Amino acid sequence: MAQQIHGSATAPTPATPATPAVHATASSSGQFVRFTLIAAVIAAAAAFLSETVGLHAWAMFVGWVAWFTRPASALHGVHAVICLWAGMLLAVAGHLIVAFLSPSIGVAALPVAVFVLACVAVGMRTTPVLDNMLAWFVGLVAFFALHPENILTGLFTLIAASAVGAGAGYACQRLQHRFAA
């Protein structure tokens, strides 16, 4: 078989240790291409949907990223999104802490708020369902990156966009699993 791969016209040789590796590589690269195309098509569709309904594509990818922080199962993905949204809510609390403390302690209000937010996010690392610290911090970052004029509208916008991204992450995960064989 190794001789056939190299273009020889002679009869195939018995299987050698190199033969399974050739098939495994071809199979792996085919799976790699399928997985890549599935992810690319779903990401493009999610970006299109986000833009079509007036959501930021970057905020959609926040949900996608959160989903894949724990890609072991759909349940872990849901838990990651719960942590993401909890991080966004925590960011709202941080925003309010800064607004409340700024008149009295000035620029020290932000470090105080960050200290409180970090204590909560890191402190949840052993709590079932809420133990995805990375997703908590992605939620915090997303809210502060948006810097919304209206807190409630900004929060709902982020939740909607990240829900699209999480849904796309789920679809990607399911389709990749289906075509893994």
Check: CB of residue 79 under 8 Å from CB of residue 132: yes
When pLDDT is averaged across residues 101-130 and rounded to a whole number, the result is 97
Say if residue 98's pLDDT is above 70. Answer: yes
Query: What pLDDT shows up at residue 72?
Result: 83
Asked if residues 59 and 50 have their Cβ atoms less than 8 Å apart, the reply is: yes
What's the pLDDT score for residue 39? 95
Contact 88, 148 (CB under 8 A): no
What is the spatial distance between Cα 172 and Cα 33, in angstroms, rounded to a whole number? 14
Q: Angle at Cα 134 formed by Cα 38 and Cα 45, nearest 5°?
A: 25
| pLDDT (tens digit per residue) in 133-178 | 999 999 999 999 999 999 999 999 999 999 999 999 999 999 998 8
What is the tens place of the pLDDT at every residue in 40-89? 999 999 999 999 999 999 999 999 999 999 888 999 999 999 999 999 99
Examine the pLDDT at 9 and tell me if it is beyond 80: no
Question: What pLDDT does residue 24 have?
Answer: 53
Sign, CA dihedral 173-71-66-32, equals negative
| Radius of gyration for the chain, computed over Cα atoms and rounded to the nearest angstrom | 23
